[in-house]
Every structure is written in C-alpha cells, then in structure tokens.
Chains A and B, each alone.
Chain A
Amino acid sequence: MANKRVDEPTGTETVGHEWDGIEELDTPLPRWWLWTFYLTIVFAIGYVIAYPAWPMIDRATAGVLGWSSRGDLAEDMSAAEMARSDVREQLARIPIERLPEDSALMQQAVAGGAAAFRVNCVQCHGSGAAGSQELGYPNLNDDDWLWGGDLKAIEYTLVHGIRQAGDDETRTSVMPPFEGAFDSAQLDALTDHVLALSGKAEPNAAGAQIYADNCAACHGVRGEGDRAQGAPRLNDAIWLRGSSREAIKRQVLQPRMGMMPKWEGRLDPVTIKMLAAYVHSLGGGEDFLEVAENPEVEVDEQP
C-alpha cells in the first residue's frame, strides 16, 4: 500500500502493489465511463419508483405507473379482439345459409375456423382433419357425410354433438348388435353382400336376403344409407370402421358408435359458425340444394 510512486515515463501513479517486478498503473477510469455509470444509478432509482421492482412475499412492488406485463398482454388481447369484433359482428348477423354469397366474409370465417379447429378439434380429427379409421374419428376432408355436409348441417352437428346425453336435439342413431343372430355362414354371406354393394365382392342371394330382412330398413335397399337416421352409406368407398371382412363382421356383431361433444355453451355461436365454414371448406363440403332468392325464405337443406 505504501509503495505508491509516480511512474516516470507516463507520469501516472502506480497502485502500490508489485508482483515479481510487475506493477500496475493506477490509471483513473475514463470520465465518460464513470459518468455513464452514475447515470445508470440515477436511472435505476427512477425505474424502481416507476416500475415493478422489489420482490415482496406474494408479488413485487407495483410502481407508480402501474405497469405490468400481464396488463400489457390483456391490453394487446383486447386490442386484437376489437380488431376482430367487426368481422364477428357481421358473422353473428348473417344466417349461415347466406355466408357463401359473401366470399370475403367466408374467407374470414374459414381463417377463424382454422384457428379454432387447431385448438378444439385436432385432438380427435387430427391437424389435417383426416380423422382416424382405427379409432373411428371421421375424415372431414372427404365427401362422405353421415349427418349431412352442407354448412347448416355441419353447424347443427357442432352445436348439438353426436350421441350427447342431455341434449334432446343431439344427432343420434343406434346400430343394434347382431351378436348371436347369424351363424357363421350367414355372416359370411351378409359380409359378401355388403362388400358387393360397392363392387368389392360377388353378390349372393343368401346375403341379399339377410340384408333385406335386417339391414335395408336403415341402410337402404342398395346400401345408400339414410342421413335422417344417421345410417351410414354402405355402397361407397369410405368406411369409418374399416372395409376388411373382419372389420365389417365385428361392426355387425358388436357395433361401435362414436360420439362427438356438443359445442353449444362451450364455444360461442360465431366460433361455431366459423368452424362450420372451415370444415365445409376442406374440400368435401356440399352445397345447399337450393337457396331461395329472398333472404327471408328458409333454405332447403340437404337431409
């Protein structure tokens, strides 16, 4: 400490320590640096007063400006909400049958529906809306609809769900189990006949008879299905539960029937409308049979 001396060539005082002949000059900090440092201290005092700073037991000090990142987020969210409110209002006003006529609004609805789909529907139907044959979640991209594929029918399914207990208007159908009703030859014949409806097997008279007696009431004579009852089409290429003989036999003996939650009350009507528009837009949506010229007249839905 006491060995401070002035270094001759530079004229600067040393710090007073010496290590094996090496000394250090006690060069003062640059003035600008020092003043910047003091400025940061002054700034910090102001900051602590204005903004949340000191951690307390359950929350930090609030600061006189009352700012918080959570409040910031809420503000941003409400601003985004405000920006969307116009579109949502228009969507709330327009009957869904009239939506396709307004292509700009339809586009907005599809975009909004896509976002809502990612949150609420992908868990079962998949992010590409392709469903799953093993698990029995319908594919929403194709043109096969159990309950109707126009905008209004899709919206109805979304609102009331499928086989939802506690909703009187829910879509519901029951396929009776035929366990024990047929012997194995009869079952083979029936399976053949069902496959023959879409040309996948040779028709046989025995199977046709069993089908006519047991199945045609709901599924139709030619397997065309019945949307009113929720009976699937059997004469097309799409099989929700699989098209192998085993899969068909299993579905005849111990039918599995899926369910879909009702979204009424869980999502607001506008979101449901947007979801319907999105599902309809996936490529298999059906047109209304007829939409009256007069906006007041009810549209004629596909069954």
Chain B
Amino acid sequence: MSNPDTPKDGGGRDWSVVVEDGIAKSNKPVSSAVAEPEAATRRHEPHEPPREHLPARLYEPRKAVHNKRIDGPFRRFKWLVMLVTLGIYYVTPWLRWDRGPYAPDQAVLVDLTNRRFYMFSIEIWPHEFYFVAGLLIMAGIGLFLVTSAVGRAWCGYACPQTVWTDLFQHVDRFVDGDRNARMRLDAAPWTWGKVARRGFKWTIYAAIGLVTGGAWILYFADAPTLFRDFFAGEAAPVAYITVAILTLTTVTLGGFMREQVCIYMCPWPRIQTALMDEKSLLVTYKDWRGEPRGSVKKAQKNPGQFGDCIDCMQCVQVCPTGIDIREGPQIGCITCALCIDACDRVMQDIGRPRGLIDYATLEDCEREAAGGEVKPPWRTLLRPRTIAYFMIWAGIGGALLFALGNRTHTDLTVAPDRNPPFMLMSDGSVRNSYTLKLRNMESRPREMEIAVEGLPDAIMWTDTIGLDEAAATQRVTVPADQVRQVRAYVAVPAGAASQEFSFRLTSLDTQRETDTVATRFDAPENQ
C-alpha cells in the first residue's frame, strides 16, 4: 500500500518538463510547416504527438481578432458573394409571382398553416416532401463536390456565418477604424467616448440582427402583410419570438463569437478534413519558397540565405479568424484567401513573384518544391473524384427535375369500408361503401369524373349525389388546391361475386389527368 502522503521518488519532480527517451519534449505548439520539401507529406506520417502537459486552465479565452482592411481579387470576389447571398436572402420574400385567385402571390413561401411550399412555378405538397429531401441530399453532395475540388470554399465565401461575420467586421471597421485603432480602443479604459462608440456599434449589430431575423419570418407568410402587422403589433406571437431568437443568435454568433463558431461549434470543418485529399485546392503557404524568413535588408546583405517570406505578418493581420497560415493547413483556416491578397500585394511591392501564399494542392506543392511543373487549375478540378461527385449530384438533380415535370396534379386514394364489408339491400343487390380522396393540386376548382371500371352493371352514388341519380360515373367539383373527401356507394345487382375493380378519376379539363386505383368489391358468399 502506497500512501501518497509520503511521496517517494517523483515527489520533487519538475512537472513542467516531460522527458521521454532522454529528450525533453517542448511545450511549444509545433508548426507543421518546416522548411523542407518533404514536410508537407511527412506531417501525415503516423507518429506520437509531442507531449504537452496539462495547461493550467482547460478553457482558452478568446483572443480578439481585428483583421486589417485588404483589397485584391479575392476580397472583391468575397464582396460579390456577400452582395449576392445577402441580396437573395433579403429580397426573395418580396418577389411576387402570380398564381391566380386561389393561391398566394409570393414567389417563395413556406405556408406552414396550409401545408404548402411555393417556389416560383413549383408548388410542393406535404406528400411530395421527397423533393425537399432530394434538394437537401443535393446540397450535401454539393458540399462534397465543392470540398473535394476547392477545399473549404463554402466556409470561405458562402457560409452564412462567414458572410455575417464579414458584415460585422466591416461594421467594426466603419465605427472604430482599422486594425490598430480597434486594438487601441480595446485596450483603452472605459471613457464616455468609448461607451458611446460601443453603444453605437452594438446598436448597428442589433439592427443587423433584427433585419436578419425579420427577413426570416417573411418566408413563412405574405411578406407585405406580415411586415405591416409586425410593426402594428398584430402579428402572431411566434413571429415576434422567432425574430427575437434570430436577432439574438445573429448578434451573438456573428457579432461576438465569430470565428469560434467555425473552430469549436461547427461540425462541418471536422467532416471536411476527412473529405480533402492531396489533390484538393487549399490556401497554402509555400514553405520551401518562403523559409527561412528574413527581412528585405537581411536578404540583400546575405543573398541566397533567406526565402521569400519577409515576415511582415500581413497574412496574419488580414485573417478574419486570426490564424497564421504559415503554420500549415489548420482547422481555423476557412480558406477565404484574404492572406493571398495580402501576400501578393507585398510581393508586388518588394518585386518578388506572387503566389508565396496561394491556392495549391498538396500534390502540386510537392511537385513544385521538387522543381516540377504545376498543373493548371482546371486540371486540378477535373479528376475522377470530383467528376464522380458531380455525376451523382447532377443525376439526383436530373431525377428530381424529371419527377417534377412528370408529376400529376390529380390524385385519388380509395379506402373501402371494412365494417361492414358489404351491405345486402332489400332487392338483393349488394352495396359497398368507399371513402375517396380526390386531390386537386391546381390552383383552380376543377370538375372531375369518378368512374367505376371493371364492375359490370355497377351503379354509384355519393353522400351528395343521391341514389336516384346513381350511375357508373359521377361528376364532382374539387375545390382549388384541396383534397375533397367523397363517400361513394357502389351497388351491383343480386348475384355478383366478390371481385377486384378500380376507380378512375379524370379531370375534365384540357389536361385530362387521370389516376386509377384498384380496390375490392365484397359480396356475401352464400347468395
């Protein structure tokens, strides 16, 4: 029995140093990029990670990211994507689309109350939810496609978290100035001036959040009506609750948590790391070209001893997630390519070729480091894996379009009565009862014909058409965009046996859509 109260050896051990195989392991973060061409592949070799002992606190407080303004082709592309995505989000609910008097005229509308989903000329009913499922599968495979081709392009440009974070960072810059001014203000004591500035900035945050949440609810009801009702205080409580929650999440996630959402909360980066391979385009620091780092002056003094990187830290300062891309691919990199813009600009200023930081595949990096030729970008995109993803993606899309074009707007379901299965009438004839559901997916009332087929001498009447008008076919009007339930009674003269037959529903308009449903006619056996 050992009693820890009387520690033997190890009691006086220095816990800050871990010694293994006679080598003291360092506690410093290990850069995966080293100035050797093989480094890129070697970092994937299995090896025991260096020992690090327990930090004092498991929680790592956020270090504020104040990214510097930058301009360049990728920044301009990011502006464009931001404009397009935000434009789509805010403008879409206000688009109108004429569907006639029986359906709403909002172009994109998720009508939860009436269980309809409208998207321009497409109208989806709940039983067609597989279209939505198909779209979601396409979105998933689309992400696979994009990730395997151009890495985390979704994260870098189009993800709402990225777009709104970018928006909030522009607000920071607009209110507090660029990187240095913001850092100064952060460190400054709380004066009235700082309070006013922060108040102003957070008011803009709240306004952005409100507009974001406000636009969301417009997708679920007639936008102009809801807009008026919302400010008149007459909208449904769920509208206010939704706006409140979305305002809060927008401000919290976009305004304050920012890159922490990508690094700690979002599962997608973790999945993406499994989707990328040595042929995926990544924002890469070409360490064989850049290392060892040295200033322009040092390089002039000692030509040939230093790489192209002058350690100006521009790539770190413009990064919206605050990472150092020179440490290699990492979970914090959303591949927004702003560091490429920054580095290219510096390289231009000091007269060195661009592309020290660039979109490159791991494979190309190796080849380039060894002095080989680099494949043009379109060749890196066109490879079996991306083509396979694209074919699957396009195949599902094509199948959905085909199904959408071929779907009928008329549908019939038949439920025969099981209790009692048949009814003997006084004249010896046998009657069966059925519950028919007539679905009219057009946004206009339609005349439809119900016919009994394959049942000789059968007559049919319904809950609204009396026995005196009984016939083998009946006409009913189905209201616009609705399912009409009809109780149908079918009778055959005495002596008929149990048999299969079918109901046929035909729309009596130019489309003449039909649907046939087979069902059963029951009769007593011992007649």
List the interface of chain A (C-beta within 8 A of B): 3, 5, 8-10, 14, 18, 20-21, 23, 126-130, 139, 141-144, 198, 233, 236-238, 281, 283-284
Contact = CB atoms under 8 A, between A and B. Distances in A.
Nearest to B56: A11
Contacts of A129: 420
A18 B6 CA distance: 13
Contact of A20 (B1, B54, B427): B1
B489 interface: yes
A144 B427 CA distance: 9
Interface string B1-23: 11111000001000100000000
Interface in B420-438: 420, 423-428, 431, 433
B426 A130 contact: no
- Most central of B5, B426, B428, B489 by chain A CB within 10 Å: B426
Given A18-B4, A23-B4, A130-B419, A9 B15 contact: yes
Given A23-B4, A141-B423, 5 more contacts: A21-B4, A126-B419, A127-B419, A237-B424, A283-B433
B494 interface: yes
16 contacts: A3-B3, A5-B4, A5-B5, A10-B54, A18-B1, A127-B419, A128-B418, A129-B420, A130-B423, A141-B431, A142-B425, A143-B425, A233-B426, A236-B427, A237-B494, A283-B489
A128 B420 contact: yes
A130 B425 contact: no
Contacts of A143: 425-426
A123 to B, nearest CB: 15
Nearest to A127: B419
Given A128-B417, A143-B425, A281 B463 contact: yes
A237 B4 contact: no
A230 B7 CA distance: 107
A3 B463 CA distance: 87
Contacts of B425: 142-144, 237-238, 284
B427 A237 contact: yes
A9 B3 CA distance: 17
Nearest to B431: A283
A224 to B, nearest CB: 11
Contact of A142 (B417, B426, B463): B426
B2 A283 contact: no
Contacts of B494: 237
Instruction: Classify the secondary structure of A's interface with B.
Output: loop
4 pairs of A and B residues whose beta carbons are closest in the complex: A128-B419, A130-B420, A236-B426, A237-B428
Contacts of B11: 8
A24 B180 CA distance: 49
A2 B165 CA distance: 55
Interface size class of B (residues with CB under 8 A): 20 to 34
A144 B15 CA distance: 99
Interface of B: 1-5, 11, 15, 54, 417-420, 423-428, 431, 433, 463, 489, 494
A238 B4 contact: no
Nearest to B10: A8
A39 to B, nearest CB: 22
Contact of A9 (B54, B419, B426, B427): B54
Contacts of B431: 141-142, 283
Contacts of A198: 428
A153 B174 CA distance: 85
A238 B424 contact: yes
A130 B425 CA distance: 12
Contacts of B15: 8-9
Given A8-B15, A281-B463, A283-B489, A142 B423 contact: yes
Nearest to A2: B5
B4 A144 contact: no
Nearest to A20: B1
A3 B2 CA distance: 13
Contacts of B1: 18, 20-21
A238 to B, nearest CB: 5
Contacts of B427: 236-237
Contacts of A18: 1, 3-4
B426 A238 contact: yes
Nearest to A130: B420
Contacts of A127: 419
A118 to B, nearest CB: 12
Contacts of A128: 417-420
Contacts of B428: 198, 236-237
Nearest to B418: A128
A283 B420 CA distance: 12
A145 to B, nearest CB: 9
Contacts of A8: 11, 15
A284 B463 CA distance: 11
Nearest to A239: B424
A284 B423 CA distance: 10
B4 A141 contact: no
A301 to B, nearest CB: 19
A231 to B, nearest CB: 15
A153 B207 CA distance: 71
A97 B54 CA distance: 89
Contacts of A142: 423-426, 431
A206 to B, nearest CB: 26
A223 B361 CA distance: 98
A93 to B, nearest CB: 24
Contacts of A3: 3, 5
Contacts of B419: 126-128, 130
A45 to B, nearest CB: 30
Contacts of B418: 128
B63 to A, nearest CB: 25
A141 B489 CA distance: 11
Nearest to A287: B466
A281 B428 CA distance: 20
B497 to A, nearest CB: 16
A139 B423 contact: yes
- Most central of B3, B5, B431 by chain A CB within 10 Å: B5
A141 B3 CA distance: 89
B428 to A, nearest CB: 4
